[in-house]
A and B are shown apart, each in its own frame.
Chain A
Amino acid sequence: MGNFMELVRNENMKIYSRLRTWIMMGIMLVIMLAASIVVLLLDEGVKSMWTVLNSEVFSGTMLVTIFTVIIAADSVAGEFSSGTIKLLLIRPWSRSKILLSKYISVIQFAIFFLAVLFVWTYIWNGLFFGFSSGSLQELTNESSTGSVWSFVLSGLGLQFISMMLTTVTISFLLSTVFRSGGLSIGLSLFLMFMSDTIAGLMSLIDKPWKDYFWFMQSNLTQYLSNGPDVTHEHTIYFSLGILLVYYVVFLAITWWQFMRRDITS
């Protein structure tokens, strides 16, 4: 049959032909630039470009997560609300492959935005505070050695994995199950913002099973600080394992729902 990548191309065409997508991009770029300018004007004790970059990339990732949730929610629910789902599903492709092409385009969207985020903050902070190779002490206040690049990029990578495994996939799931973009955006962002609060509450519970909730494990960046005086309750593999189990369950429900549903919109 046909070429699967053509389906992904279609999904990308639908994402990037919309003004909305470029407004999101503009918002992200303006906020990051503004943050650097504010630091440049107000804070004279900046040690290097990396301290500003690191915190901007961290908060920027939250923004990218919100945007990706919007794209993921609209990807399936939007086809239902516009009625285009009918013309989309009467092609010689199985429903599961069409859903997969949508999911892949959502992942690509997140990677694209994170890459732009990193390059953009690198350029401006370098121009404002001087390009430097930096040292890890500036970021972690620990006597650890290693490359600043790998620290910042692994932080970005872990945040990306955490967001894809939980918030974005939940949004995709809700979008498929409820066919309502608004509901899935609202609910998945609510879960994202509440996850720290819920994790805080749950840590008060003195039972071993509390560790098996995804809220308890969704913060992967904690594992980046691994000096001699830092101890973690679990290993990163344990956290990843728990998240993966949830992830597989979320995806299974999503696909099952999409394959069995009668299209009546």
Chain B
Amino acid sequence: MSEPIVQLSNVTKRIGNRTIIDHLTLDLHPGEVYGFLGPNGSGKTTTIRMMVGLMKLTEGEITIKGHSITDSFEKAIRQVGAIVENPEMYKYLSGYKNLVHYARMVPGITRQRIDEVVKLVGLQGRIHDKVKTYSLGMRQRLGVAQAIMHKPSLLILDEPTNGLDPVGIRELRDYLRHLAKSEGITVFVSSHLLSEMELMCDRVAIIQHGKLIDERVISQDGPAKDAVSRYRFEVDRPSEALELLAQHSAVVTQEGIELDTDRETAAWINAQLVSAGLKVYGFRPHVKSLEEQFLEVTGGETVG
């Protein structure tokens, strides 16, 4: 695996005697889309604020491309583009002037580059209108534009799909994956839309009460062929099926029976059941969605 581009090590944030973030350690690699999941108040936004230097760390260290966000803030933040919570812009300025404003703060952003990102986020038609006339979706796009304008190596997006319509969400998702795969930008997204994260991310971390409770790889091409998963067989006489499959430790459920097996064996079991005269209405692997996994690890706490 390549050298991590972002490292959070033992990051801790205490306010008073409340521990908001508790020894959080994460590594982000170049070109991956990393999801950051957690229930409300679990510390997602606080973590992001610490990563961009808006909040100080009580303990631990955050480095971006080897530069500490605390000790060499300017070098570290140069690598970062971000939207923290809502994309708040100067409402009395046009979208274009907002971009000029941020462009002036980083050397080397040309007018052409600004026009390029405006086109990229599809705001050409309205870019010279005042931001106060923009819809939430358009503000979100402008937010993305200011975040990618200076070609950062790390893009941090807090709830980026908020306020976008389904088409916008799809476009954003495709665009983020494109940025990560073809330009090698690391994308760090927090979201409460679990299904979204599943489609967008390579890895997800789940935090709760400021602690990392799980981190897993999401496969974008579905489970591997020989992977064992939970198969559900819908049959007319479950108890008979159970007897037949005694050696497979199957259990009876409402619909039929369930057991752990791989793809090939599942097909073989189906043939067995049919030849024994049972009616098989259907069988399918049951892949746990991220949402189910999430509820499982967070103990069913509501996600918002």
| Residues of A in contact with B (beta carbons under 8 Å apart) | 1-3, 6-7, 9-10, 13-14, 17-19, 82-84, 86-87, 89-94, 260, 262-264
Contact = CB atoms under 8 A, between A and B. Distances in A.
Contacts of A14: 90, 93, 101
Given A7-B104, A94-B74, A263-B49, A87 B88 contact: yes
Contacts of B75: 92
Nearest to B143: A87
Contact of A1 (B54, B74, B85): B74
B84 interface: yes
A18 B54 contact: no
Contacts of A82: 88, 90-91
Contact of B106 (A2, A13, A87, A264): A2
- Which bucket holds chain B's interface residue count? 20 to 34
A94 B71 CA distance: 11
Contact of B89 (A84, A262, A263): A84
Given A1-B74, A9-B104, A83-B86, A89 B54 contact: yes
Contacts of A260: 56
11 contacts: A6-B105, A7-B105, A9-B104, A13-B100, A14-B93, A17-B93, A87-B84, A89-B53, A90-B77, A90-B84, A92-B77
Interface string B65-80: 0000000011101101
B12 to A, nearest CB: 14
Given A90-B52, A91-B77, A93-B74, A84 B90 contact: yes
B186 interface: no
Nearest to A101: B105
Contacts of A3: 107
Interface in B221-266: none
Interface in B101-147: 101-102, 104-107, 146
Contacts of B100: 13
Given A17-B97, A87-B87, 19 more contacts: A1-B107, A2-B105, A2-B107, A6-B104, A9-B104, A10-B105, A14-B101, A17-B92, A19-B92, A82-B90, A83-B85, A90-B52, A90-B53, A90-B82, A91-B106, A92-B77, A94-B73, A94-B74, A264-B55
